[in-house]
Amino acid sequence: MISCTEFIPAYSEGFKFIENLGGRKELEKFWSELSDLYLTDSLQRLMQEKGLAGAFDYWSHSLNEEAADFTMILDEDKGEFSIDLHKCPSKGMLLELKHMTPYHSYCDHCPALYKPIAEGLGYTYTSEIDCDNASCKITIKKP
């Protein structure tokens, strides 16, 4: 078992390895498989059961567990859920490391994992990513 502090650089190095071995398409296939294997029983199930409130529940737990700096808004009247991730702990950590260079598109894994879940349930998913500053905004809306 590796610790979370070791997992983040290992994840980044794994992305580099897969891309070097099989190209970007192979990396995207890996991300798709991760989404199918690990998010179907959590995020997808919660959103099927509770709609956007399920997304709120999922990210409330995971972002607090990671000690992320974020603001989340669930507006049931507008049919909208958003996360403003002021500082991503994973990418922030990678930017501080001196002994390695993070995978050049590290932040691309988040929409690759989460967008198919939301869109598969009929929602729209948009993201604005500022990978150089370890921040992003995700919005999921009802159709």
116: domain CATH number is: 3.30.1380.20
Mean of pLDDT values over 10-19: 95
Q: Round to whole Å and give the CA distance between 51 and 45.
A: 9
E strand spans, 40-97: 69-75, 80-87
Kind plus residue range of the DSSP H or E element containing 67: none
Q: Round to whole Å and give the CA distance between 79 and 36.
A: 25
Q: What is the mean pLDDT of the chain?
A: 93
The whole-model pTM stands at 0.90
8 A C-beta contact, residue 2 and residue 10 = yes
Q: Which domain holds residue 67?
A: 4-141
Q: Confidence band (pLDDT; 50, 70, 90) for 127?
A: very high
The pair phi, psi for residue 54, each rounded to 5°, is: -65, -40
8 A C-beta contact, residue 72 and residue 83 = yes
**What is the count of structural domains for the chain?**
1
